[in-house]
Structure 1
């Protein structure tokens, strides 16, 4: 599997990282404190932001920022765990024979963030919501390929995730507690990716794929390999 595309714009949010300058600093320095406060929402109406989980809020905020100056034809949202924290809360409440919150129930689906983006942005664009273990970022790109390459359309890709409930932490290792990163994708040859056999040399293997890619992108790494589940992904940047 190999494919090429270009990036027209990007934006990301995570604890202590609320603008491009801070992300560029992160990309060139070690030991970022992931326990810093989450960025505040500046584009989501407060009444809606208060009901949203942290990862969905960041994902929608990233999407709104990128849609501010970009007209896209489709959007793809990727999250390995989706609304896991809210779902665990629902299961715990049911286990205690208590009534669940209607808000928690309504906002517990995987496509919560993507649906809220279209509502708040007031844009009726086609939306896809994906989950693909650690390969979500690459599968999101593959999902976008037909529209980029054959229809010459412009797309929004947002990858995000949130805090893993304590009960799952023995099975799921997590360096970045909450994050959302988005890219405006277009047809082009600025960036090339191909699937490869498992490699011993992995770039920023502790980060989710989309953040590891952002780290390399901001550092203008010419070539690097990102870790996948059953295969790895070799990237070449022509920036």
Structure 2
């Protein structure tokens, strides 16, 4: 039996499908900042802008399993080689770097939260977004999930997400809803089977159909209810 159930309003959503190769367009970011951004941050900023460019103020929930691990790894390589570490690289290496860049670009001082929860990061980010929205439905909440594979030197990682990003805007009078549920894993696997939560949910949203994912002892299910207009 699924022991967690919640529903979030979906005012708008945007995604860069897992494995997307096109460079994200983030021209709304200052050029001096833009050239220092990683691919991960650009993906996150792209889908965030798609969803909330016309919203003057949004609370932000950013989620990523690995975050800026590639940038951190590069800095560690510099340290090993007795090279100086760039202060800019350091400031952009933290998990919530994207939230700061986004808030500054928008001149938005709304609260921001960063979440990392292994292979189940996306599921718990949706739960956090629901909790924040339920506490204050008057202010929109933007959930942004972005991830990319870790460097090969870290070895094989279960349920590794290909590079991709997803954003969902929770707001009043949203035309659509996403029903979410989670509970102990069942003996029967989800069908169709997806390697990651991100792939499962993005496919479900694109097809406007139910989606599920099972792993790490829990099963996650999502059901998209639409009025017909995205």
Counterparts of 2:116 and 2:32, CA distance in 1: 28
Deviation sequence 1:55-93 (CA, Å, 0-9, x none): 012212222232212344411000000110011011111
- Aligned partners of 2:148 and 2:207: how far apart in 1? 25
Q: Which residue of 2 aligns with 1:28?
A: none
Q: 1:73 to 1:107 in 2, by over 3 A?
A: closer
Q: Does 1:12 align with 2:23?
A: no
**1:110-162 residue CA offsets vs partner (Å, 9 max, x unmatched):** 11001110011111111000100011111112112233224224210000013
> Which residue of structure 2 aligns with residue 158 of structure 1?
144
Q: With structure 1 as the length reference, what TM-score do the two structures score?
A: 0.81
Other-structure match for 1:220: 208
Shift, 1:202, TM fit: 4.5
State the partner residue of 1:123.
Answer: 108
Consecutive aligned runs of 4 or more in structure 1 exceeding 4 Å deviation: none
The within-5 A match list for 1:58-77 is: 58-77=43-62
The answer to whether the 8 A contact 2:147-2:161 is kept is no
Q: Which runs of 5+ in 2 are unaligned?
A: none
Unaligned runs of 5+ in 1: 16-33
Deviation track 1:2-23 (CA, whole Å, cap 9, x = no partner) reads 11112110112358xxxxxxxx
Q: Confirm or deny that 1:168 pairs with 2:178.
A: no
Q: TM-score when scaled to structure 2?
A: 0.84
The Cα RMSD (Å) is 2.3
Cα deviation per residue 1:187-239 (whole Å; 9 max; x = unaligned)? 678222221332412445124x2342121122121x33223422011223332
